[in-house]
Chain A
Amino acid sequence: MDFEYTDDQDSLREAARALLTKAYGDYGKRRAVTQADPGYSTETWSRLAELGGLGLPFSEEDGGAGAGWIEAAVVAQELGRVVAPEPYVVSVGLAGRLVADAGTAEQRAEVLGAIASGERLVAVAHDEPGRRWSPTAGDTKATQDGEGWTIEGVKEPVVQGGVADLFVVSAVLPEGGTGLFLVEGDASGVERESFPAADGGRVARVTFTAATAVPLGSAGENRTATIATALDTARILAANEAVGIMEVALRMTTEYLKSRKQFGVTLNTFQALTFRAADMYVSLELATSITQWATMVLEDGDAAAISAAARRVALQVSRAGRHIGQEAIQLHGGIGMTAEYAVGAYTTRLTTLDHLFGDGTYALGALADGVGGYDAVDPLS
């Protein structure tokens, strides 16, 4: 039992922090980047690739760094600390995991290598209008056409779908079940409309009309379980990003309480406010503990253990993110409402992270369903 990062992991954190502080340490730079398309910095993305940050969880034969998910989580935390708009969790965590788990050796080498080197941005086209975090596709259909396959349907929201070079698309198979496919961003029959997202990033509605698709892995296989594990992976990485965000949101809030004067004294003179900050710290500590645990489960565990840990971390971090995000704005007062002051961006990003892969209520529903099946929860068994 050990919650400490290794020296290598600490060095990775330092390198990532240095890079990201240079990019976004001044919040004005982050704002400028999100105001222009594509809503993130391709330069920072390349730097992250050069650092090895984009290939951390992938094996070396697939072009990755051969590290692991704990290392990816370290980078996610650092991205959170400066509320960086780069699509790390969806590209590395979600798309990367899908390809790593479902792809052929050739596809893994090609796609994961391209993700790791920063050459290609890979987006996941899975969500569909009206659906909520299901591991299956709904109205998007895959059709076999001789040797080839085509996809028909609408995916939304697709994070960075407007500029993605490649899509991993989920679609209902002719025989039932949900398959996974690769579709080139510039393939015919792919239409995309990009929108600014609530958190400053970009999301797209991607319409596939008889778009040419290549099965990911062997053709016609039901990949529902693979998708579920990838969503769990993304949720745990997102929790790490959220922990980085919450830490800084709390720090910004305490700094503000110490410096801002009202009625002739600094705000930390008022116990009503300091007690609320103390409760934020309690939320942060509990969320950090469960996130570190879930990350270790992600690194070591089987799919069932990862699924259980993802639900638990989703619930705890959802609650903590809302508590800390809302209080951060409230304790800042009016300045917290402004776009030019950073704290609002932190809360905004927490809100979108909460809703990308399944929020607290969704996780609680799943946990409550199974609650009669065991005696007590033991993290060490």
Chain B
Amino acid sequence: MQLQLSDEDREFRATMREFFTTKVPQEIRDKVAEGRELSKEDIVASQKALNDAGYAVPHWPVQYGGQDWTQLQRHIWNEEMQAASVPPPLAFNTSMIGPVLAQFGSDELKERFLAPTASLDIWWSQGFSEPDAGSDLASLRTRAVKDGDDWVVNGQKTWTTLGQYGDWIFTLVRTDPDVKKQAGISMLLIDMTLPGVEVRPIELIDGGHEVNEVWFTDVRVPGDMLVGEVNQGWTIAKFLLGNERVGVAPVGSTKRNLARAKRLAQESGLLSDPLYAARVAELENELLALELTALRVVANSAEGAPHPASSVLKLKGTVLQQAVSELLVDVAGPQSVGGDGWGARSTPTYLNLRKASIYGGSNEVQRQIIAKTILGL
């Protein structure tokens, strides 16, 4: 057992800290730090800055722009990025479809898509969930039927995050309705400018427009936009969702937000109220325990394979993320009701973050995973 980082990792951390705090535009980082909404241009500019330095897709295979980093270095990269209020690279591109294409895509798909996916010259959307297929993803009904070389797609996707910005969408579609539901699914890449693709916004409780419905009506998709083999979609989806759970506890940004809530509570005098001080101290302690758990997981996880305890990180990570947003609304008090200051922004953020325990496998799904795969129940 060894508490300190090695000299090499310490140096790596310093390099990351230096990069994130000096090479990503300050105005974008200020927006993140203050909980303001980012524009598409902000997200693209930030990812381009990372990609130019080789830091947008460090977990990809090296030949496609990845870095040969250890799990711990990836963790440090992620934490320092969050601590510096740098918007993380677009997950749909870098955590989801990129690794999938690198693993399952044809040479043509790799050649065509991987570089612009890393640089965010193509903005990907995720087309998995449907109105009747959320946690029970395999129940999806969007159909793709072969017609000559093309696939003809009909159906509806939902909860398509930032779909309004999407250039392309990676979808799971039913290609064989007559077999066990997991066995008849394929993954298709669909150009969102094709005729028959329609994106409709869904307004959420925070007043924002973050998610969408995507409708497909007789959309003709070229046959070579299939990823992997026909009916292999479920395997690919499991690979993708397994990646999604890695790094899912946003310790760095939650820490930053808690420090901010504390600073604001101190400025307003609220921190001298022992009840508030205790709430802060308790959250800090749980966050420390979570960070140490994340470190244990990265330090001990076999290369590539997600640690079984990653469900703990997702579950507890989102609970603490939500709790800190709740603290900030409470610190804002009456200012949280409305206006134009930080207090007014705290309420939409708090409401928006209710999603964290629902997406990426709801926290009930995580409990189910812990109970079944870790405890054997």
Measuring CB to CB, which residues of chain A are less than 8 angstroms from any residue of chain B? 1-6, 9, 70, 250, 254, 257-258, 268, 271, 274-275, 277-279, 281-282, 285-290, 292-293, 295-297, 299-300, 312, 315-316, 364-365, 367-369, 371-372, 375-377, 379-380
Partner of A316 from the list B72, B278, B289, B367 (CB cut-off 8 Å) is: B289
- CA gap between A296 and B258 in the complex, in Å: 26
Which positions 319-360 of chain B face chain A at CB distance < 8 Å?
Answer: none
A275-B367, A368-B278, A371-B284 known; A292+B292 contact, CB < 8 A: yes
Contacts of B5 in A (CB 8 A): 1, 380
Any A CB within 8 A of the CB of B271: yes
Interface SS of A by simple majority = helix
Q: How many angstroms from the CA of A293 to the CA of B4 in the assembled complex? A: 10
Which of A6, A257, A316, A375 is close to B286, meaning CB atoms less than 8 Å apart?
A316
Instruction: Determine if B91 is an interface residue (Cβ-Cβ < 8 Å).
Output: no
User: What is the bound-complex CA distance between A3 and B372, given in angstroms?
Assistant: 26
Collect the chain A residues with CB atoms within 8 Å of residue B2's CB. 1-2, 296
**Which of the candidate stretches B115-123, B190-198, B294-302 sits at the interface with the other chain?**
B294-302
Alpha-carbon distance between A131 and B349 when the two chains are bound, in angstroms: 45
- Beyond A1-B5, A277-B377, is A368–B274 a contact (Cβ under 8 Å)? yes
Q: A2 touching B285 by the CB < 8 A rule?
A: no
Instruction: Count B-side interface residues using an 8 Å CB cutoff.
Output: 52
Given contacts A371-B262, A377-B288, 7 further A-B contacts (CB under 8 A): A1-B299, A274-B371, A274-B375, A278-B366, A289-B295, A300-B4, A368-B277
- Return the chain B residue nearest A284 by Cβ: B312
Q: Are B72 and A1 in contact (CB under 8 A)?
A: yes
**B205 interface contact, C-beta 8 A:** no
| Contact status B271-A278, CB under 8 Å | no
In angstroms, how far is the closest chain A Cβ from the Cβ of B336? 22
Partner of B371, one of A278, A296, A315, A367: A278
Residues of A within 8 A of B295 (CB): 1, 3, 289, 379
In the bound complex, what is the Cα–Cα distance between A250 and B377 (angstroms)? Answer: 12
Residue B285 contacts which of A4, A268, A316 (CB distance < 8 angstroms)? A316
Q: Does B291 contact A (CB under 8 A)?
A: yes
- The reply to whether A371 and B271 form a contact with Cβ atoms under 8 Å apart is yes
- 12 A-B contact pairs sorted by A residue (CB < 8 Å): A4-B300, A258-B377, A286-B293, A292-B1, A300-B4, A316-B285, A364-B281, A367-B285, A371-B281, A379-B288, A379-B292, A380-B4
Query: Inside 8 A of A254's CB, which chain B residues have their CB?
Result: 375-377
Which of A1, A2, A3 has the most C-beta atoms of chain B within 10 angstroms of its own C-beta?
Answer: A1
A-B contact count (CB 8 A): 149
Interface residue from A1, A250, A293, A368 paired with B281 (Cβ < 8 Å): A368
B290 proximal to A (CB < 8 A): yes
Q: Which residues of chain B are within 8 angstroms of A377 by Cβ–Cβ distance?
A: 255, 284-285, 287-288
In the assembled complex, the Cα of A277 lies from the Cα of B367 at a distance in Å of 9
Nearest Cβ in chain A — how far from B368, in angstroms?
Answer: 8
Q: Tell me, in angstroms, the Cα distance from A65 to B75 when the chains sit together.
A: 37
Given A258-B376, A278-B375, A316-B285, CB of A297 within 8 Å of CB of B312: no
Q: Nearest Cβ distance between residue A362 and chain B, in whole angstroms?
A: 12
The smallest C-beta distance from B77 to any residue of chain A, in angstroms, reads 14
Determine whether B3 belongs to the interface, using a CB cutoff of 8 Å to chain A.
Answer: yes
Shortest distance in angstroms between B75's beta carbon and chain A's nearest beta carbon? 9
B282 within 8 A of A: yes
The answer to the question of B268 belonging to the interface, with a C-beta cut-off of 8 Å to chain A, is: no
C-alpha spacing A377/B258, complex, angstroms: 10
Measured between alpha carbons, how far is A290 from B288 in the docked complex, in Å? 8
Q: Are B316 and A282 in contact (CB under 8 A)?
A: yes
Residue in contact with A315 in the complex, picked from B282, B372, B376, CB distance below 8 Å = B282
Whether the Cβ atoms of A1 and B277 lie closer than 8 Å is no
Tell me whether B309 is interfacial, beta carbon within 8 Å. Answer: yes
Task: Report yes or no: A364 in contact with B282, Cβ–Cβ below 8 A.
Answer: yes
Residue on A with the closest CB to B83?
Answer: A376
A275–B375 CA distance with the chains assembled, in angstroms: 11
**How far is B377's CA from A293's CA once the two chains are assembled, in angstroms?**
30
With known contacts A3-B299, A289-B296, A368-B274, A315–B285 Cβ distance under 8 A: yes
Report if B364 contacts A (CB, 8 A): yes
Q: Mark B103-121, 1 if CB is under 8 A from A, else 0.
A: 0000000000000000000
- CB pair B281–A282 under 8 Å, yes or no, is no
* Complex CA–CA separation, A321 to B364 (angstroms): 23
Please measure, in the bound complex, the distance between the C-alpha atom of A208 and the C-alpha atom of B166, giving whole angstroms: 80
How many angstroms between the C-alpha atoms of A65 and B370 in the bound complex?
Answer: 40
Known: A282-B316, A295-B1, A372-B266. A275 touches B364 (CB 8 A): yes
* Alpha-carbon distance A258/B375, docked complex (angstroms): 10
Chain A residue nearest in CB terms to B294: A289
A137-B371 Cα distance, complex, nearest whole Å: 48
Indicate if the CB atoms of B4 and A1 lie closer than 8 Å: yes
Instruction: Please indicate the chain B residues that have their CB under 8 angstroms from the CB of A296 in the complex.
Output: 1-3
Give chain B residues whose Cβ lies under 8 Å from the Cβ of A364.
Answer: 278, 281-282, 285
Residue of B263, B266, B281 most packed against chain A (CB within 10 A): B281
Q: Are A367 and B281 touching (Cβ within 8 A)?
A: yes
Contacts of A375 in B (CB 8 A): 259, 262-263
B374 contacts the other chain (CB 8 A)? yes
Q: If the complex has contacts A1-B6, A278-B370, A379-B288, are A285 and B259 also in contact, measured as CB distance less than 8 A?
A: no
Measured CA separation A233–B77 after assembly (Å): 34
Shortest CB-to-CB span from B314 to chain A, Å, is: 10
B97 on the A face (CB < 8 A): no
Most chain A beta carbons < 10 A, residue from B3, B4, B286 = B3
